[in-house]
Chain A
Amino acid sequence: MTQPVSPVAQGPIRWLPLDDLDRLLDALRADGRTIVGPVVSDDAIVLDEIASAGDLPAGRGAEAGPGRYRLTDRGDAKRFDHAVGPMSPKRWTFPPRAPIRVARRTGAGVRFASADARPAPLALIGVRACELAALGIQDHVLLDGQAIDGDYRARRAATFVVAVECATPTSTCFCTSMGTGPEVRSGFDVALTELDEGYVVRTGSPAGSALIDSLDLPVADPSALDAAAVVVAGARAAMGTPLDMTNAHAGLAAAPEHPGWAAVAERCLGCTNCTLVCPTCFCTSVVQKSDLDGTTSTEERTWDSCFTDGFAKVAGGSFRPHGTDRYRQWLTHKFSSWWDQFGSSGCVGCGRCIAWCPVGIDVREELAVIAGVGPVPMPQLRTIALAAPASAPATASAPATASAPAPALGGYVTVHVDGMTRETADTVTLHLRTTDRRLLGGRPGQFVMAALPAFSAAPISISRFRRDGLDLTIRAAGPATRALTGLERGETLGLRGPLGRGWPVEEMTGRDVVIVAGGIGLAPLRPLIDICLAARDTIGTVRLYLGTRTPADRLFVSEVGALVAGGQMDVRETVDRAGPDWLGRVGIVTQLFDRATWDGRNAVAFICGPERMMQATSEVLFGRGIDLDRTWVTLERNMSCGVGLCGHCQLGRFFVCKDGPVFSLAELGPAFTMEGL
């Protein structure tokens, strides 16, 4: 409903007497809209459904400071003369809980259906400039990206925005510093400026104009316009000199080890309040609600926060184990990496995170302490051509068809298990059959979210592409992967993908290739090896180095045997430890090449394994002359939505699930080795 509009209001500016506000509300209700506006409840001005203008907080105001918020009594008739409260429109456009998908287990197999919202038409009354800016930011994050949040799209489209000029900001407000207010410029359908006797009414969209025309209000007289201008000017003046935020972006990026982080972490309770009152924070988790026998389950998108313990958890622990890491993540994302990801700051200066922090941490002070550092160069993300090499083989490999854009959150495809190969005691390769062109069109290094009803979906790398399907090689580690590896021929599961950016296969053309795999890291590299074999003539020498824990943990044993015998590439294998029966090499994977004599200056390297192993490997390869921009790794993170909408897998300025999981070391920079990012 709300459309981008020019700062210039559409149509004439009109006048609505104070007592006639209900005419506006009635017109909106006549449109079938639920009206949400400010009301006083439990010692605060919150947003709630209102029946009439009488529900609005006439004569009430609010003062806020760090960790403090108090209602005030003005005793006048103004209904909107108060600073923002704890709630923002986000609660309605991006609700705390929203069902996104239903999974059912039927006789026919598993079925997935998206549960997109059919939201009732909504009118938001009293939206401030900072909140309009926040809506704009969430629109950009959730609607302009690679994937789209269907629930948000539906709710946003059903929302009519009546903005109100801010008259009395409070000490926590700093919209002038973020350039988002106090003036209401765009993003509204109708904008009001509240004066003692009534409202100056501007319209900002065709829908807004249509509504206001229907009321046929008198044109506002010039004195009212002057008074309105005074109100806004007063609000700006009340916030004093704006802060200079120019340094925040580069300064924070350059200060990951600033002592200020530890200091603020001592005060920070990790309670998540700042992130959950923030009008732009969009991080969520998916919660499974399954029935008693697990045949039906609903996935619910739930507000989450980078301050919770579980947020950055992956196999073996959390990427951000300390409060320091989490506070740095929040502030750095909001004021720095947000620029890299979305081209703006993630902060609109509404001050909620300051007022509603129980211990009164003030981001403005933290920025002053930490972000005073000079800028750092930001290498740009390489876009990887989506087409596989022209010489795409007829047998196994990624088909030449370009893969479609990532699916929206809802899109699970049911695929059949054609067969299983037990690779090791706890690892199974599922041979899956599907005709879904998107899945078949995936590229080496991409992954899928694999789901069974009642279990949380698991990100699994594709370990082979076939004309009629694909392979997933899965290690039974948690309940979900146990269930997946327990699947049998003829059973079905849901796949969402292919997701992420795969290996840059075209980089191999005309170059030598070094492939280093650690443990189950061989799985995502297997399709790449398929291509090497198929496109042998376009590629130089191929060297394949495999490291495994013990002989019993080796994957694809017969295939690897065939590669050794085939002689098309130099294959070397080692295990970390072995019994006396093992006659092959023993030692860490880098020993396979740390004394080699080949020249890597025209080679490209692909590495997959534990991060520590990839770091050691890349160092040795760098010594062999393979530069950072020719060394590609794939990262494990807490990937949950798979399309960059949930925030879990953030690493510095990247969402691993959509920007990666494949990165060149040049792209990652310090993020590759720094702990806690």
Chain B
Amino acid sequence: MSRDTGIDAALASGWFGAGLPDATRARLAALAELTSVATGAVVLREGAEVDSFGVVVDGRLAIRLAVPGRTAMTVLTVEPGDCIGWSALVPPHRATSTVIATEPTTVVTFDGPALRTAIDADPVLAAAVLWRVLEAVSRRLTATRTQLLDLFARADQEPW
């Protein structure tokens, strides 16, 4: 079905899908639909229920955290090939941050409950998908740690 093959191609084009076995990717494509997000559109809202998991095909999404009394900070941007909304797979299925499009963006979107059911039912699919998700999460954790070091900040005391 052309719709699926289109999605399959979109998935295969980026890091998340490229690493999956063809069969698994086709199986996923069948569950997904291609959605486009306009600049400024909010994809996920911090604290809200997350009912969808997505893989960015093109464009750019910003992960933002709001601190009352301060302007919202963008802590990370999600590039094509990366995934968003992994909270849809991990209880309590609430968004840990707000995700907003900073340019027109296309996302391969999965319905959260449906994807979870599929994963529960199919260990092979589960293994393939969850490894991918885990890798994405760990990469973000590493990145966050490095950002914590604030490496480019000026040193308190300088000899010159």
Contact = CB atoms under 8 A, between A and B. Distances in A.
A458 B160 contact: yes
A449 to B, nearest CB: 10
B139 to A, nearest CB: 7
Contact of A315 (B74, B102, B159): B159
Interface string B134-156: 00000100010011011111111
Contact of B75 (A457, A583, A586): A586
Contact of A548 (B82, B143, B152, B156): B152
B156 A613 contact: no
Interface string A454-490: 0011110000000000000001011111000000000
**Which of B63, B72, B153 has the most C-beta atoms of chain A within 10 angstroms of its own C-beta?**
B153
Interface string A415-444: 000000000001000000000000000000
Nearest to A521: B152
Interface in A542-556: 547-549, 553
A426 B76 contact: no
A316 B60 contact: no
Contact of B64 (A479, A580, A616, A638): A580
Contacts of B77: 574, 584-587
Contact of B153 (A549, A585, A595): A549
Contacts of A87: none
A212 B153 CA distance: 67
Contact of A612 (B82, B151, B154, B156): B151
Given A519-B151, A586-B62, A313 B74 contact: no
A67 B94 CA distance: 69
Chain B residues touching A, range: 20 to 34
A572 to B, nearest CB: 10
Interface in B14-28: 15
Given A580-B74, A586-B76, A595-B79, A316 B143 contact: no
A595 B152 contact: no
Contacts of B117: none
A609 interface: yes
A406 B80 CA distance: 49
A588 B73 contact: no
B158 interface: yes
A609 B150 CA distance: 12
B147 A480 contact: no
A579 B72 contact: yes
Contacts of B82: 595
Nearest to B148: A576
B73 to A, nearest CB: 6
**Which of B62, B72, B154, B159 has the most C-beta atoms of chain A within 10 angstroms of its own C-beta?**
B159
Contacts of A580: 64, 71-72, 74
Nearest to B156: A316
B2 interface: no
A578 interface: yes
Given A456-B160, A595-B81, A587 B143 contact: yes
Contacts of B139: 591, 594
A61 interface: no
Contact of B147 (A520, A553, A588, A594): A588
Contacts of A576: 147, 150-152
Contacts of A610: 151-152
A426 B154 contact: yes
A585 B60 contact: yes
B99 to A, nearest CB: 12
B71 A579 contact: yes
B104 to A, nearest CB: 12
Contacts of B155: 315-317, 477
A607 to B, nearest CB: 13
Given A547-B152, A583-B103, A613-B151, A577 B74 contact: yes
Contacts of A609: 151-152
A595 B73 contact: no
19 contacts: A315-B157, A316-B155, A458-B160, A477-B155, A479-B160, A549-B153, A576-B150, A576-B151, A577-B73, A583-B103, A586-B62, A588-B147, A590-B143, A590-B146, A594-B139, A595-B15, A610-B152, A612-B146, A613-B151
Interface of B: 15, 60, 62-64, 71-77, 79, 81-82, 102-103, 139, 143, 146-147, 149-160
Interface of A: 313-317, 426, 456-459, 475, 477-481, 518-520, 547-549, 553, 574, 576-580, 582-588, 590-591, 594-595, 609-610, 612-613, 616, 638
Given A315-B159, A580-B71, 11 more contacts: A477-B160, A480-B160, A518-B152, A549-B152, A577-B75, A577-B147, A578-B74, A579-B74, A586-B63, A595-B79, A616-B146
Q: Shortest 3 CB-CB distances between A and B: which pairs? A: A316-B155, A519-B152, A458-B160
